[in-house]
Structure 1
Amino acid sequence: MSRPTVLNSGIQLDARGIGTEDGPRVVLCASLFYFRLPREQWRARLEQVRASGYTCVDVYLPWNFHETAPGRWSFEGRRDVAAFLDLAQETGLYVIARPGPYICSEWDGGALPAWLGLDPELRVRQHEPRFLDRVTAWFEQVLPLLAERQYPAGGPVIMVQLENELDFFDCEDRAGYLTALRDQATRHGITVPLIACSGQGDIEGATGNVPGVVPACNFYPDDDSPDIEAEVRRYTELLADRDLPLLITETNRRHRTLRRLLASGASLIAPYLQSSGWNFGYTPSTGNWGDPGNFMSHGYDFGGYVSSSGAERPEFAQGQVLARVIDTLGPRLALATSALPRVQVTADFPTSSSPSALDLDEGGQLIAVPHLGTAPGRAVVRGVSVAVAPDSCPLMLVDVPLPSWGCDATLTLASADLVGASDGVLTFSSEVPVTVVLGGTRVEIPAPAVGTPERTAAEGLTLVALAPTDAARLRATDRDGTVHLTDVPPRPSTTPPTAVRDVRQRPAVAPEEPAGTHELPPTLESLGVYRGRGTYRTTADLTGVDELLLVGAADIVDLSIAGRVHPTIAGFGAAQRIDVHEATGRVAVEAFVEIWGHANFDDARLPALRLGALRGLGTLWTVRDVADVSALWSVHGHWAGGPAPLRGLGGWSSTRVGLPVTYTREIRSATASALHVLGVVEPVRVSVDNGEPRTVHAEDPWILLPAGTHQISVTMPHHPSGGGLRAELLTLEPVTDWSCAVQDDDLLTGFAVEAGPTRDVQLPLALEPGEETWIDLDLPPSDDGFLVRLDGSQLRVTGWAAGECVGRVWVGDRPAFSGGDANVLWIPAGWSGLTLLLRGTAGPGSPELRTLRLESPDG
């Protein structure tokens, strides 16, 4: 492999680590996203990261947050990223800027604007001129802004990431694509290192192996795995062969794991998402966490050291302790090289299968000894038995010379974290007894209690042990062992939850904008709605029709047929059968469709989860006939000769388990039809008329066919019991002649902030399925804002405050949600008033808002 050229502007990357104008650095980096926080909280959150001991924040810059419609750019208010970067500089933090163009981040479309999907020839994340033309427009806006704020010339930006985890995506010309992005960055004056992260270890897949693009790695291991070190060291070695450091741009948040990564050679450690935030408005993606197809909650929180509302969790103090270890060892650690322990390490507790060590720059080793169990244990290191607390990973020092710390001796062994070293004083952090061996002298320091340091002396040194809680607050230790700690910040006061029953109801509803008539339902994006919703109306002749087939609907569809509102459909484009046997003749059909986010990942199992997939009603078909076509399939493969056997679909038996078998059959239909493959568990491959095979998944086992005669081939791994597949053919006619009306996010927000007539009402408030109402309420003053928790059933609720949409929740029977608490809206401090749009949905129980509860964040 060719070695990338490292562009340099005060930042040097080589196999020994990261060098800055102020010297070599191990960088702890916390994700902190300006677009998920109120602007008035930016400084406090940045200062909080700095107080954690972390020295850097990584910052996505979402393209579609700044280009809100084609050619309409916004960098003001909460979108003023330049002001955020300037605050990071004032706070003393480095910044890794991640402008995409694709960012993932569980953000709407991964930050790719929704209208890109309207051009059928534009292919996202490809070396393709139409896409690159749009990327150029984005980069022309954002890259000069970053170039002006590069380190060290008056700015905090030390690296710029191009793309994001491209190795997850089927990019046809990785080298060409990354070269184009690199060239744009350099043309706009980016001189700090350009990086590209691999999401699953495919370095070339992430970077295209393009000179000038530095590979970085994202690791999300099982925190309890004994094999983390061996995996990470492999990448440390691979990158060292290129004379590059291991940069971990995303990983887990637990500091026990982060210590293992540090000892395995990482120079940059950036856990995602340490400082949480909020998905305001219409910005969350639809994703594929676990089962394909779910929604991201208003809260964006994966358990990092700071909650969405800014509360510090126990990991915050652990971050401070780790940062003190890194600061104490300084260049010794920053210039260390990855190694294996030079001494034997054994343990009576679950630990690493292959412990990692670092050869420190001035001699000696740092050895990580993770305790992966839950009971107190002991390890033997360099022949000395030492205590190790459960669920910990002490960074033990072995054979470290001490002259630079005022002692002409060698630290033969220290079983605990070294969090302070000055002339003649060594300070350790531990919750269990500490063993220190200086030359030939062994010292046992009792386990320190919180607020009670333990002190002893040996070989002319003062040795001090602190509980981790105190070590997190350490400012200095005097020569006599006196410890100086920072003050404990006062705990924020919490207000008891308040139930709200008195609200003001608006008689008016938000206006719709007519969007024309169409033979077939158009996508919402083609109607100019990139965030928002629309209504589709028509009449359909349901004479003799028992069911409809809805194909391609996304994200959320409330379908009303002949006045009956059906349960909400959230199938992410999968075909949906709808029972309409009670309706006959020409009846009104109305479909209310909401966009809840475009896919941030490319998941082929469901149509609406493909990256760039559009939103809307899809196509509604009447089902005129259903025929079983499970029989009379010809078998190809695994049989002796002609003629080909005729069997049921999946019904061939042989001993060659797991090898592919192909079944073919002719299908005839005078109209459009849909082939439904029932019983699919593992994916099967289906081709029509010898065309390109398509993978059919259990989540959407349908193939639409035009009128005519078709040769169908189904290929699947052989199963001796036949696999249990069946097939049916639905004969279809499209429902046509639709009229459309739309409400984008600007229209809805404008209506929400309008003052209008209201009437006082008292909760509970009942609605009918499909009915909407708007309510207003005043919020009492609060220094921390409020969590608004809704008690009710069968409601979708959107909230606005201070002129901005804060988010959405779904009360009652609903699809799966991921992220933080999906049951609350957060109203930041100072965001006056609250307006809620309630929509009733069909399902178990009746739509009703019983009460609102105002809670203190993290109270």
Structure 2
Amino acid sequence: MEPGDGRLDPAHPADDRRLLPGPAVPVRNGHQRRKRGSQVSHSTIAGTGVDLDARGIRIEGTERVVLCASLFYFRLPREQWRARLEQVRDSGYTCVDVYLPWNFHELAPGRWSFEGRRDVAAFLDLAQETGLYVIARPGPYICSEWDGGALPAWLGLDPDLRVRQHEPRFLAQVTAWFDQVLPLLAERQYPANGPVIMVQLENELDFFDCEDRAGYLTALRDQALSHGITVPLIACSGQGDIEGATGDVPGVIPACNFYPDDDSPDIEPEVRRYAQVLADRDLPLLITETNRRHRTLRRLLASGASLIAPYLQSSGWNFGYTPSTGNWGDPANFMSHGYDFGGYVSSTGAERPEYAQAQLLARVIDTLGSRLALAGSSVPRVPVTADFPTSSSPSARDLDGGGQLIAVPHLGTAGTAGTAGTAPGTAIVNGVPVAVAPDSCPLMLADVPLRPWGHDGTLTLASADLVAAADGVLTFSSEVALTVVLGGNRVEIPAPAAGVPERVTVEGLTLVALAPGDAVRLRATQRDGTVRLADASPLPSAAPSVEVRDVRRRPAGAHEEPAGAHELPPALEALGVYRGRGTYRTTLDLTGVDELLLVGAADIVDLSVGGRVHPTIAGFGAAQRVDVREAGGRVGVEAVVEIWGHANFDDARLPALRLGALRGLGSLWTVRDVTDVSALWAVHGHWAGLPAPLRGLGGWSSTRVGIPVTYRREIRSATASALHLRGVVEPVRVSVDDGEPRTVHREDPWVLLPAGTHRVSVTLPHHPSGGGLRAELLGLEPVTDWTCAVQNDDVLTRFAAEADPADPAAPERYDIRLPLALEPGEEAWLDVDLSHLPPSDKGFAVRPAGTQIRVTGWAAGECLGRVWAGDRPAFSGGDSNILWIPPGWSGLTLLVRGTAGPGNPELRTLRLEYPDD
């Protein structure tokens, strides 16, 4: 046992000085005990107390495998920061990675905030006090399904500014952000002043079309160095393109994000390849994001990872207007108020079964210590076969000092009691049959010298996790029978029952087998195999939900701030609304007009024409045809446009999914005529000669299936027009007047054309049947003379926090009972009294139920989030049907808006639930 490493020592079973509170997890770092003011040498890779090379990660000279959980201060109430950090520590993880969202701290151009929930310095200091390392990820772009990927919304107002490029205007904005945040990180670097052991520049740049990666990353690196960042600078690749993520810039260390199918048999060879690629550069494999399932994490560990950072192990919330519209739909969706992808801690702080799996894996890593941390990635030296689905090429680590750690995943599932698949499978390891539980991945030891643990022999094979080791005793965790081969002795130990350890002594060595639930509570092991366990945590008791019937309706809504008159609808950002909503109003003569065309609107548009409220439009900027045949004459037009969130990813298929795209009404047009232009296209390509044949669009016949063919024709229109390519399946390329081609997708198959005559070319992969492609031309006139008003998130939040302005002479007029019926387009502000409810240490989940309504909630002066019932786009994240009131947050105010759709708008019930999952 290495002195001071916190392993369980059977010779000192009562010594708990080195054990953290809660579940038995040894202290694996001591940086919280260092005094501030230590000297830090200036290097990006070595000499800072954090050194990286092909053998792994060394922190102040000690080799470590680092388990890291993502934990985001901006998705939690400040009151819960310490408890969540302690929860990560008690899981056995030694590090948290944390994004620092630029637009969470710069609320408007030049308006900075680092107070309250934005006090990231306080969060980092708490991490240090808790005993955790930190990987800081300040962007400038973070993705994270966060509004705009953290890029401020107003950047899109400058047409010459190009985000995530080596471009002066963008870099000037980044400099302003880095000038705020990098000194804060530099002051809290490890080991001198804090817990920060690495700083990430950018995020998954290999997904983005950056024109000068080397120049861009060099600029970010130089800014970090100029601000005194001395810990390693890293950049993660999202799809394995190391050069695409780092630009191969010296001093920027590549990391990898892996999101495999957990049941894939091919994870190991892919990960080993990257481990070798990086080892050839004298670097370790740093996995900065990956899946949360520990069966998979074990496979990554065995394949050579020195840092394993599953993304979002500790879940949280997207408060207010901070969720994104993003890349998890087909092609898009809205991120929910809950931000939860099934990590080991739920959004409300409840520990899931994976939490215990984290503790088990941490114990294995801790027990093997530097022997594992210095181990190279390899494959088993002994034959491994199985009668169950497993890896196509298992991985092993060549332990420092001899022997191997072999991962043997059972990719079958346990099923339910009495069904097939519940029995363990059998693996043959070097000719020895061993049991492997379904849905598990034991880390088996082979040919490991035991001298470091006080025994002269060699552990030829152990088929289960080694969770503690010291002089004369080895403690394993297994849910099935355990096989140990020691010298010439093969020992079969029955599957241990909960609370009943199994013990056997072989050649003077005591072997102890514990059930996994006991292994995570292990405090100490005596030389005779007697174990001491921590008390089991009590199971939470389910609390009944409460249905709220009585609410108080306010007589008026939040005021609008006038935003001027405009010839054409401006972007909301141009009106100073970066989060919130705006209203656009005009009058329009619809005589002889059957439809309107709405182009570029985002995110949520409630359009009323002549008093008729149309179904909500949430098309992510795609052109939308609006039937107005029932209107006629001169009518009023009103559009309430709400920002759900800016795109967190760059997706060219829809206009509002482009990174940096603005929000607002876009442009509205009256459609004056519609002409079919599917015929008379000249064919160019394949064997078409001169004069070019004339065919219908897509109608050329050829054996060259899939090879692009180009169709050209002139299109004339006396007004602006829109070319609609109906029936597009695969993307097609369209150019106008021999200009730069643009790609048109089935999600938005439109091309706007100015008035005049234009040469249009459409290039598409050839399909023998023609693919059913049609083309029509819509003659357009712009709708002009708009008056705008806005309500940004600050205005709405201030109003929600105000006292009820009900008429004191008739307060009973505003006390109502649910259900509440609304008209489409009608809004109601409701105050809900929660003072009579018993307190909850996990807060309350508020579940509004109804049809055709959107509900926004506020508590304690802060916007909680939004819920949408009825016709709506796809959602992802956590439970999209609840709002969460954190414990201690007082009051509840709801804004309920009725929308048009198949049902009548109605808030039927409001249920408050006590989270316990």
Q: Do both share a fold (TM > 0.5)? A: yes
2:866 to 799, 808, 812: 808
Equivalent residue number for residue 242 of structure 1 = 281
Matched ranges for 1:608-623 at <5 A? 608-623=656-671
Instruction: List per-residue Cα deviations over 1:747-787 (Å, max 9, x = no partner).
Output: 10010000133321111111110011100112223222100
Q: In the alignment, does 2:503 pair up with 1:455?
A: yes
1:776 to 831, 836, 840: 831
SS at match of 2:581: strand
Q: CA deviation at 1:815?
A: 0.9
SS at match of 1:330: helix
Matched ranges for 1:342-353 at <5 A? 342-353=381-392
SS at match of 1:209: coil
Q: CA deviation at 1:293?
A: 2.0
Q: Report which stretch shifted further, 93-102 or 14-23.
A: 14-23
Q: Is the 8 A contact 1:164 1:197 kept in 2?
A: yes
Q: Is the 8 A contact 1:7 1:191 kept in 2?
A: no
Opposite residue 825 of structure 1, the aligned amino acid is L
Cα distance in 2 for residues equivalent to 1:642 and 1:124: 45
Q: In the alignment, does 2:808 pair up with 1:760?
A: no
Matched ranges for 1:559-578 at <5 A? 559-578=607-626
Q: In the alignment, does 2:457 pair up with 1:409?
A: yes
Instruction: List per-residue Cα deviations over 1:472-530 (Å, max 9, x = no partner).
Output: 22122111111122222223343200000001110011000000000100000000000
Instruction: List per-residue Cα deviations over 1:442-477 (Å, max 9, x = no partner).
Output: 111000111111111101011010111111221221
Matched ranges for 1:293-372 at <5 A? 293-372=332-411
1:822 to 880, 904, 910: 880
Q: In the alignment, does 2:569 pair up with 1:550?
A: no
Q: CA deviation at 1:7?
A: 5.0
SS at match of 2:209: coil
Opposite residue 763 of structure 1, the aligned amino acid is L
Q: CA deviation at 1:367?
A: 0.6
SS at match of 2:243: helix
Q: Is the 8 A contact 1:305 1:316 kept in 2?
A: yes
Q: CA deviation at 1:557?
A: 0.2
Equivalent residue number for residue 269 of structure 1 = 308
2:479 to 402, 407, 431: 431
Opposite residue 853 of structure 1, the aligned amino acid is R
Equivalent residue number for residue 788 of structure 1 = 846
Matched ranges for 1:515-526 at <5 A? 515-526=563-574
Instruction: List per-residue Cα deviations over 1:198-232 (Å, max 9, x = no partner).
Output: 00000000000000000000000011111000000
Q: Is the 8 A contact 1:8 1:193 kept in 2?
A: no
Q: In the alignment, does 2:103 pair up with 1:64?
A: yes
Opposite residue 127 of structure 1, the aligned amino acid is H
Cα distance in 2 for residues equivalent to 1:569 and 1:29: 41
Instruction: List per-residue Cα deviations over 1:320-348 (Å, max 9, x = no partner).
Output: 00000000000000000011111111111
SS at match of 1:589: strand
In structure 1, stretches of 5+ residues that fail to align are: none
Cα distance in 2 for residues equivalent to 1:482 and 1:836: 58
Matched ranges for 1:170-249 at <5 A? 170-249=209-288
Structure 2 CA distance for partners of 1:813 and 1:641, relative to 1, 3 Å = closer
Instruction: List per-residue Cα deviations over 1:133-161 (Å, max 9, x = no partner).
Output: 01000001000110011111131000000
Q: Report which stretch shifted further, 288-297 or 261-270.
A: 288-297
Q: CA deviation at 1:640?
A: 4.7
Opposite residue 850 of structure 2, the aligned amino acid is G
Equivalent residue number for residue 167 of structure 1 = 206
Cα distance in 2 for residues equivalent to 1:92 and 1:382: 41
Q: Is the 8 A contact 1:299 1:822 kept in 2?
A: yes
Q: In the alignment, does 2:436 pair up with 1:388?
A: yes
Opposite residue 240 of structure 2, the aligned amino acid is G
Cα distance in 1 for residues equivalent to 2:805 and 2:538: 44
Cα distance in 2 for residues equivalent to 1:695 and 1:858: 48
Equivalent residue number for residue 652 of structure 1 = 700
2:196 to 157, 163, 187: 157
Equivalent residue number for residue 82 of structure 2 = 43
Q: Is the 8 A contact 2:541 2:916 kept in 1?
A: no
Equivalent residue number for residue 14 of structure 1 = 53
Cα distance in 2 for residues equivalent to 1:807 and 1:406: 58
Q: In the alignment, does 2:905 pair up with 1:847?
A: yes
Equivalent residue number for residue 520 of structure 2 = 472
CA RMSD of aligned residues (A): 0.9
Equivalent residue number for residue 9 of structure 2 = none
SS at match of 1:464: strand
SS at match of 2:123: helix
Equivalent residue number for residue 124 of structure 2 = 85
Opposite residue 325 of structure 1, the aligned amino acid is V
Opposite residue 766 of structure 2, the aligned amino acid is H
Equivalent residue number for residue 94 of structure 2 = 55
Q: In the alignment, does 2:643 pair up with 1:598?
A: no
Cα distance in 2 for residues equivalent to 1:356 and 1:290: 34
SS at match of 1:183: helix
Q: Is the 8 A contact 1:293 1:571 kept in 2?
A: no
Q: Is the 8 A contact 1:778 1:832 kept in 2?
A: no
Q: CA deviation at 1:22?
A: 5.5
Cα distance in 2 for residues equivalent to 1:5 and 1:770: 57
Q: Is the 8 A contact 1:673 1:729 kept in 2?
A: yes
SS at match of 2:178: helix
Structure 2 CA distance for partners of 1:7 and 1:714, relative to 1, 3 Å = farther
Q: Return the TM-score normalized by structure 2.
A: 0.93
Q: In the alignment, does 2:169 pair up with 1:130?
A: yes
Cα distance in 2 for residues equivalent to 1:817 and 1:82: 33
Opposite residue 79 of structure 1, the aligned amino acid is R
Equivalent residue number for residue 65 of structure 2 = 26
1:589 to 628, 637, 642: 637
Instruction: List per-residue Cα deviations over 1:74-132 (Å, max 9, x = no partner).
Output: 00000000000001001110000000000000000000000000000000000001000
SS at match of 1:727: strand
Equivalent residue number for residue 730 of structure 1 = 778
Q: CA deviation at 1:5?
A: 6.2
Q: Report which stretch shifted further, 767-776 or 480-489.
A: 480-489
Opposite residue 155 of structure 1, the aligned amino acid is G
Cα distance in 1 for residues equivalent to 2:701 and 2:524: 76
Cα distance in 1 for residues equivalent to 2:64 and 2:565: 62
Q: Is the 8 A contact 1:328 1:419 kept in 2?
A: yes
Instruction: List per-residue Cα deviations over 1:517-558 (Å, max 9, x = no partner).
Output: 001000000000000000000001101000000000000000
Opposite residue 541 of structure 1, the aligned amino acid is D
Cα distance in 2 for residues equivalent to 1:290 and 1:844: 23
Instruction: List per-residue Cα deviations over 1:347-380 (Å, max 9, x = no partner).
Output: 1111111111110001000110011113321001
- How many residue pairs get aligned? The number is 856
Equivalent residue number for residue 790 of structure 2 = 742
Cα distance in 1 for residues equivalent to 2:476 and 2:840: 41
Opposite residue 710 of structure 1, the aligned amino acid is H
Cα distance in 1 for residues equivalent to 2:47 and 2:564: 55
Q: Is the 8 A contact 2:55 2:283 kept in 1?
A: yes
Structure 2 CA distance for partners of 1:564 and 1:8, relative to 1, 3 Å = farther
SS at match of 2:117: helix
Q: Is the 8 A contact 2:44 2:231 kept in 1?
A: no
SS at match of 1:597: coil
Equivalent residue number for residue 21 of structure 2 = none
Q: CA deviation at 1:723?
A: 1.5
SS at match of 1:130: helix
Cα distance in 1 for residues equivalent to 2:611 and 2:916: 44
Opposite residue 427 of structure 1, the aligned amino acid is T
In structure 2, stretches of 5+ residues that fail to align are: 1-42, 414-420, 807-813
Equivalent residue number for residue 721 of structure 2 = 673
Q: Is the 8 A contact 1:551 1:575 kept in 2?
A: yes
Q: CA deviation at 1:858?
A: 3.0
